[in-house]
Amino acid sequence: MKQGIAKNERLRQQSVIDSLFVRSCPALLAYGFRFSWHALKPPQESNCVVLFVSSKKKLKRAVDRNRRKRLLRELYRLNKQALVQYASLNNQYFAISINYVGSAELDFNLHTPLFQKAIQKLILELKKNNSNPIHPAH
């Protein structure tokens, strides 16, 4: 598998982005990372489309926000195999937003194992949500 984040793996649809930030959207906080996800309808180009978020409230300068997003992209790029493999094996499609909400500065070497654990926790949460039957009224 090619290492990288292809154009079809990046979240660009405004309607899906808006759906990731409503209160009813499932979210997970793990090891300083916040994941929000939304299930997509099956005919998609990629199983997982991703959005990287950095809040203006915590980081006032755009340079700092861009650096944090760049580090998040690199962490995801190096550790996305498990998530993409889970989605493709189960024929599921997700839009995911990733945000680092920790109080310490995002350090690549320090946060790599934490991000790997967070991805595993996200996969477990996706499995749990997938096993729950969806009520017909939804």
Q: What is the pLDDT of residues 17-41, one digit of tens each?
A: 999 999 889 999 999 999 999 999 8
Residue 60 maps to a domain = yes
The verdict on residue 16 lying in a domain is yes
Residue 90 domain-assigned (yes or no)? yes
pLDDT tens profile 61-90: 999 999 999 999 999 999 999 999 999 999
- Report the 10 Å Cβ neighbour count for 77: 13
Residue 1 lies in a domain: no
pTM: 0.87
Q: Is residue 135 in some structural domain?
A: no
Is the residue at 138 inside a domain? no
- The Cα-based distances of 8 to 20, 59, 78, 117 in angstroms read 18, 28, 17, 25
Q: Is 31 left (phi over 0), alpha (psi -120 to 50) or beta?
A: left
Sorted by sequence, the CB contacts under 8 Å of residue 128 that are 6+ apart come out as none
Both tokens assigned to 110: 């320090």
Residue 20: which domain range?
A: 7-130
pLDDT of residue 138: 39
Domain count, the chain: 1
Query: For position 3, what pLDDT does the model report?
Result: 67
Give me the CATH number covering residue 26: 3.30.230.10
